[in-house]
Amino acid sequence: MITALLKRDLAKFFPFAGGGASLPVMFFIAVAMLYPFAVGPDVNILSRTGGGVVWIAALLAAILPLEKLVAQDIELGFFDQLRLRGLTEEVMMAVRLVAHWLSFGPPLILATFPAAALLSIDGPTLHLLLLGLLAGTPGLAAIGLMIAALTASLRAGAALSGLLLVPLALPILIFGAGALARQDGASLGFVAAISLGLVAMAPFAAGAAIKASREV
């Protein structure tokens, strides 16, 4: 049952797989492309600030899929029908978290290579950037899922969810981008720890939000 659900969720969200959205990845690369135009082609400035720009682009790209992440399936009665088949909301949300991360984390990490080339990011920095994104994107996915579930039954949910993600994602950004400035991977441990905490919490928080959305 869970495999079938994960497959369906992936088909819905994975970029280039049918109806999935490749928009976050495009957006991510577009930011990396625009930045040199905005600050000029000075290699020093680009390579010094490029890593931070990639982090900001990743954070903003994480906002894009939130609108469809939960709200549509509540409207379709999807979670209701799964509940009637004995699946708990927590399991549904854990599956959704895996599908959401798989459809935006790894593609973003892959897109970091062309982005790094556009921003003249050097080898060691790229290394820290990739490790940081690998540790940080699950946390971003978890925050996104919780927000999407909480705001699903609100009319202006989509705009609100983007606004809510920014402050909550700050710790990941601070430690993730901080590692680049000091060229020191130690703070990535914090990023991983924050992500782990968020990933553990998200299915329960989002599940509770789905249940609460039924009681009107």
Partner 1 sequence: MQAQQPSSTARSLAASSLACRRGDRLLFRKLSFTVKAGEALHITGANGTGKTTLMRTLAGLTTPYAGEVQREGELGLLDERPALDLDQPLGKALGFWARIDACADPSGAFSALGLRGLLEVPVRYLSTGQRKRAGLAALLSRNVPIWLLDEPLSGLDVAAIETVTRLIELHVQEGGIALIASHQRLDIEGLQTLELGDFAPAAQEEEAF
The Cα–Cα gap between 207 and 149 comes to 8
**How far does Cα 180 stand from its chain's mean position?**
20
Single residue of 8, 159, 163, 184 touching partner 1 by CB under 8 A: 8
Q: Considering the rule CB under 8 A, would residue 23 count as an interface residue with partner 1? A: no
Q: What is the 3-state secondary structure (H, E, C) of 115-152?
A: HHHHCCCCHHHHHHHHHHHHHHHHHHHHHHHHHHHHHC
Provide the minimum distance between the beta carbon of 62 and partner 1 in the complex, in angstroms, as a whole number: 23
Single residue of 43, 76, 159, 201 touching partner 1 by CB under 8 A: 76
Q: Considering the rule CB under 8 A, would residue 156 count as an interface residue with partner 1? A: no
Q: Considering the rule CB under 8 A, would residue 210 count as an interface residue with partner 1? A: no
Count of Cβ atoms closer than 10 Å to residue 26 Cβ: 14
Single residue of 56, 60, 83, 102 touching partner 1 by CB under 8 A: 83
The Cα–Cα gap between 98 and 158 comes to 21
Instruction: Give the range of 12-20, 38-46, 140-148, 150-158 binding partner 1 by CB under 8 A.
Output: 12-20
Interface with partner 1 in residues 112-141 (CB under 8 A)? none
Tell me phi and psi for residue 38, to 5 degrees. -75, -40
Q: Considering the rule CB under 8 A, would residue 183 count as an interface residue with partner 1? A: no
Provide the minimum distance between the beta carbon of 61 and partner 1 in the complex, in angstroms, as a whole number: 22
Count of Cβ atoms closer than 10 Å to residue 136 Cβ: 27
Provide the minimum distance between the beta carbon of 84 and partner 1 in the complex, in angstroms, as a whole number: 6
Q: Considering the rule CB under 8 A, would residue 17 count as an interface residue with partner 1? A: no
Single residue of 30, 33, 77, 170 touching partner 1 by CB under 8 A: 77
Tell me phi and psi for residue 122, to 5 degrees. -85, 175
Q: Considering the rule CB under 8 A, would residue 40 count as an interface residue with partner 1? A: no
155 contacts 111 by C-beta, under 8 angstroms: no
Q: Considering the rule CB under 8 A, would residue 22 count as an interface residue with partner 1? A: no
Q: Considering the rule CB under 8 A, would residue 16 count as an interface residue with partner 1? A: no
The Cα–Cα gap between 147 and 137 comes to 15
**Helix (H, G, I), strand (E, B), or coil: what is residue 62?**
coil
Q: What are the distances in angstroms from CA 17 to CA 20, 28, 45, 112, 204? A: 5, 19, 37, 21, 28
Single residue of 30, 43, 81, 183 touching partner 1 by CB under 8 A: 81
Residues in contact with partner 1 by CB under 8 A are: 1, 4-5, 8, 12, 18-19, 75-78, 80-85, 214-216
